[in-house]
Amino acid sequence: MQTRQSDEVETTCPYCGVGCGVLAKVAADGAICVRGDPEHPANFGKLCSKGLALSETMARDGRVLHPEIAGERVEWNTALDLVARNFADTIAQHGPDAVAFYISGQLLTEDYYVANKLMKGFIGSGNIDTNSRLCMASSVAGHRRAFGEDIVPGLYDDFDEADLIVLTGSNAAWCHPILYQRMLTARRVRGTKIIVIDPRRTATADESDLHLPLDPGTDVLLFNGLLAHLARVGAMNESYVAKHTSGFEAAISLALADAPSSEAVALGCGLPVADVRLFYDLFAATERAVTVYSQGVNQSAHGTDKVNAIINCHLATGSIGKPGAGPFSVTGQPNAMGGREVGGLANQLAAHMGFENGEDVDRVARFWRARNMARTSGLKAVDMFRAVGDGRVRAIWIMGTNPAVSMPDSSRVRAALKRCDFVVVSDVVRTDTTRFADVLLPAAAWGEKDGTVTNSERRLSRQRPFVPTPAEVRADWRIICDVASRMGFADAFEYADPAAIFREHASLSAFENNGARLFNLGALAAISNGDYETFGPRHWPQPNERPDDARLLAGGRFQTPDGRARFIPVRQEGVAQPANSAFPLALNTGRLRDQWHTMTRTGLVPRLMANAPSPVVELHSRDAAENEMDEGDLAYLATPYGFARAKVRINDGQKPGQVFLPIHWSGQYAVNAGTGPLASPVTDPFSGQPELKHVPLRLRREVKA
């Protein structure tokens, strides 16, 4: 593969959490050329269909190119003055919790940092949350419960070194394709076995050695059964459990009560008992086993319990921070992990700290010289839009995301935005959400942005500009700082460039706490502008004890009061809203191979649209027959929250009683075609993540093919 050329810019793909390195340049004829970076350790030169089409998504069609107030073009100063004045007035009249920011895993770490600082340190509210809440919040909560902080112990190298990879709630073949290719290579080279746990027979399941199509909501039962099995057959690492963990007795007694035998698990999960035994025996016999989990686990009313059920099994075998082994949560968005590092969730502070510890809050307040430090968590995504709807939040700023489509119960979200006193949207292109903007601000796009992102294995990479930014477009961090200055906080938001923000972020991570922490979070606090400019992909944070080793938690010490990881006793609870006589089916949702989120970029590329030009609902032939439907019919779908329409595809990879609809379509492409209007706003009590994988549904044929 051709090595990097001097005219190519090293940057990072803006789509998924794999974080593939991209080489980009503008050719002499003006054409944009993009290829995989052969030296980037996330992808070694490969790109998936979405990454390969990046150059075709950079057209100016639909681009927001200048600020607007009520749809009319205005000067930047006019728009910024209005935003700052309305936010300040709302805070003065109704308090800081009457305003909110809803941000995005698309933002760079530097953007995230200043948005978080403005809301939590200067406005004085925790009301900043992100669309990553819909993606990985249950993993964050599960890590915090088990490890005492939000640390992902795994590395991509583990996929090369594992003898067993268990993918649960992850259609990696479509959603994280480059990582999935790496797993298939391990199978070819090393003989790694792949087990897929998913109610649907996905493209990932098609390639697996064993597919376990469990019933929705039974993941805790399956992993409780595994924990009980490990204990029964003597496959636990007793010395690790004794030295490095707490709470085993409570967890195993609940697991044994929940899942007394493989037969009971098979019955409860709707699986053949022989397949359950095969999974359990293989896991028990394999020292190097990685469990990869994603949205199918996280997007659940019991997502945090599911995460902890998985982690419990790896604590039992002592496989945390070991090569080729461990639990591995894969993030959906390009900078979901960077957002976690800066604390860009309503219930987090920076550097893995949280609101529950008053000393942490004071530490951050001192570092920021905060004028008005938030003391408590703010509203999580679903609750935030409820508060917009009932008037508790009167001014909201939405950055780089499209909640009018992507939030569950999106009809209610649109109604809330319509009635909200003041809506600011900063984005690259016009979306369903920009229609609600009182003030619309033009933000820099991929190829113009300059900063850092962090991928699923905590590897920092740079996004670098390689095309000029349009004259009236600004970087997100710059827009946020411009507003902060006008609100009277200029001294705290005077940054010359993204490198200055990054240094402050890294310094905060080290501030006052380095000695007491397991990880050297502040290693990059003094990075020069030159080094920031040239730095290549690197892991962060690093362990204090072994600074050259990227692997975390290998030493068996955890950021808990007693230094031990915690087993969390969890019980099988099922789905929040079972199917019923009015809504006899269950809707599952997910991504397609060639599309990204609400298609604001990938929808621009004809060859990405070719495989699925319109929304398709997939259902089992039995359900099609019972509902008198044929392939290609137009179906009307209804849940307790709303309705949508999609073409029927008959697919016996669906379990009877369950239908699948992709998340991508929005009002831009087809009215009521995506999952937003249908999806449930029921959330996990610990993470606030909505249950997007299961909602009761009915359907009928509307138009015959």
Residues binding ligand SF4 (CB under 6 A): 13, 15-16, 18-20, 43, 47-48, 50-51, 176-178
CA distances from 318 to 140, 155, 325, 542, 554 (A): 21, 17, 9, 21, 10
Least separation in angstroms between residue 12's CB and ligand SF4 is 8
Sign of CA dihedral 58, 61, 62, 65: positive
| Structure tokens that stand for 91 in this block | 């805070």
In whole angstroms, what is the distance from residue 32 CA to residue 48 CA? Answer: 17
Please say which residue, 20 or 301, places its beta carbon nearer to ligand SF4: 20
CB of 115 to ligand SF4, least distance (A): 23
* Closest approach of ligand SF4 to the CB of residue 19, in Å: 6
Q: In terms of CB distance, is 178 or 205 closer to ligand SF4? A: 178
Helix (H) or strand (E) holding 101: strand 99-103
Cβ–Cβ under 8 Å, residues 604 and 669: no
Residue given tokens 């929304």 in the structure block:
615
Nearer to ligand SF4, 596 or 686 (CB): 596
CA-CA distances (angstroms) from residue 222 to 98, 283, 309, 320, 570? 43, 13, 9, 20, 12
Least distance in angstroms from the C-beta of 605 to ligand SF4: 13
| Smallest separation, CB 16 to ligand SF4 (Å) | 3
| CB-CB contact of 678 with 587 (8 Å) | yes
* Residue reference for tokens 């820099």: 444
For ligand SF4, the closer CB: 45 or 323: 45
**C-beta of 121 vs 177, nearer to ligand SF4:** 177
48/565 with CB nearer ligand SF4: 48
SS3 69: strand
Supply the minimum distance, in Å, between the C-beta of residue 447 and ligand SF4: 14
Q: How far is the CB of 95 from ligand SF4 (least distance, A)?
A: 41
Cα–Cα dist 121/372, whole Å: 6
3-state SS of 480-504 is HHHHHHHHHHHHHCCCCCHHHHHHH
Instruction: Give the CA radius of gyration of the chain.
Output: 24
Return the number of the residue (314 or 459) whose C-beta is nearest ligand SF4. Answer: 459
Helices (H), 550-673: 606-609, 621-626
C-beta of 125 vs 600, nearer to ligand SF4: 600
> Least Å distance between CB 313 and ligand SF4?
27
Residue 52 or 679: the one with the smaller Cβ distance to ligand SF4 is: 52
Which tokens is 576 given? 């929040």
Dihedrals phi, psi of 648, to nearest 5 degrees: -85, 130
CB 418 within 8 A of CB 403: no
In terms of CB distance, is 18 or 271 closer to ligand SF4? 18
- Sign, CA dihedral 21-104-59-76, equals negative
Report the C-alpha gap between 4 and 351 in whole angstroms.
34
Q: Do β-strands 164-168 and 193-197 pair in parallel, antiparallel, or remain unpaired?
A: parallel
Closer of 455 and 687 to ligand SF4 (Cβ): 455
What b/e sequence results for 142-181 when a residue is b if at least 16 CB atoms lie within 10 Å of its CB, and e otherwise? bbbbbbbbbbbbbbbebbbbbbbbbbbbbbbbbbbbbbbb
Q: How far is the CB of 598 from ligand SF4 (least distance, A)?
A: 15
Taking a C-beta distance cutoff of 8 angstroms, is the pair 121, 365 a contact?
A: yes
Contact between 482 and 80 (Cβ < 8 Å): yes
Nearest distance in Å: CB 473, ligand SF4: 23
Q: 3-state DSSP call for residue 197?
A: strand
- Indicate the residue among 11 and 572 with the shorter CB distance to ligand SF4: 11
**Cα gap 99→129, rounded to integer Å:** 12
Q: Shortest Cβ distance from residue 172 to ligand SF4 (Å)?
A: 9
Rounded to the nearest whole angstrom, what is the least distance from the CB of residue 154 to ligand SF4 in the complex? 17
